A and B are shown apart, each in its own frame.
Chain A
């Protein structure tokens, strides 16, 4: 059991660029959720993927998109980066959509300049 791993740990991008963040779920977990945590705030739900399909989305614009692969790893893509996208991005996986035992990764710290 290796837990949830995210890459990269830190990233600096320029406004207008695109970024891809990656998450490797805990073994056996088929559900992954992505959260954005701005400085001084709690994590905010971006979306959830279950068996490669989007299964719910928070209040984020379409330039935030995701993918989940057959091995249940996933990606978060953000297009046309804005300064306000600077945040810690957390990935969390669970055994199923009905299981609330989410395991979080350590996150990717994105800075947009």
Chain B
């Protein structure tokens, strides 16, 4: 039972353009969401988070949007850079829980 879904396994974007990575979830108890970036042979690295009391959080080139009614979040990267090429995982947690539920990841390729 996949509670967090990333329906796009891969995405290619030209350098300088916007990358939009999407994530859907099914559990209405989820109230904290994170994005992780993973390079080959490395562990996931925390990128940005958002709690359910917000609908947007920004950190430099990275912005996460949360639409609670649609149970959808997205990560925007502007402008995209070749170093952003990695697998991106979204993860969700419930306030009362202690585990994160991860999506299956989206492999982003930024073409120079």
Flag if B46 contacts A101 (CB, 8 Å): yes
- Which of A12-20, A62-70, A72-80, A102-110 forms contacts with chain B? A102-110
Flag if A42 contacts B99 (CB, 8 Å): no
> Within 8 Å CB of B43, what residues of A?
4, 90, 92, 104-107
Question: Which of B6, B46, B98, B102 meets A43, CB within 8 Å?
Answer: B102
Main secondary structure of the interface of A (DSSP, over half): loop
Flag if A42 contacts B98 (CB, 8 Å): no
CB of A71 within 8 A of chain B?
A: no
> Within 8 Å CB of A104, what residues of B?
36, 43-45
CB of A97 within 8 A of chain B?
A: yes
Which single residue of chain A is at the shortest CB-CB distance from B101?
A45
Q: How far does the alpha carbon of A56 sit from the alpha carbon of B42 in the complex, in Å? A: 25
Interface size class on chain A is 20 to 34
> Within 8 Å CB of A40, what residues of B?
104
Flag if B34 contacts A41 (CB, 8 Å): no
> Within 8 Å CB of A43, what residues of B?
44, 89, 100, 102
CB of A48 within 8 A of chain B?
A: yes
Knowing A90-B44, A100-B34 touch, does A45 contact B103 (C-beta < 8 A)? Answer: no
Which single residue of chain A is at the shortest CB-CB distance from B93?
A100
The 9 closest A-B pairs by CB, nearest first: A42-B102, A104-B43, A45-B99, A56-B98, A106-B43, A43-B102, A104-B44, A42-B104, A105-B43
Contact surface of B with A, Cβ cutoff 8 Å: 4, 6, 32, 34, 36, 41-46, 49, 89, 91, 93, 97-105
Q: Would you mind naming 16 contact pairs between A and B with Cβ atoms under 8 Å apart?
A: A33-B99, A42-B4, A42-B6, A42-B104, A43-B44, A43-B89, A44-B102, A45-B100, A45-B101, A55-B98, A90-B43, A100-B49, A101-B46, A102-B46, A103-B46, A104-B45
In addition to A33-B98, A43-B100, 15 A-B residue pairs with Cβ atoms within 8 Å of each other are: A42-B4, A42-B89, A42-B103, A42-B104, A43-B89, A43-B102, A45-B100, A45-B101, A48-B99, A55-B98, A58-B99, A90-B43, A90-B44, A92-B43, A106-B43
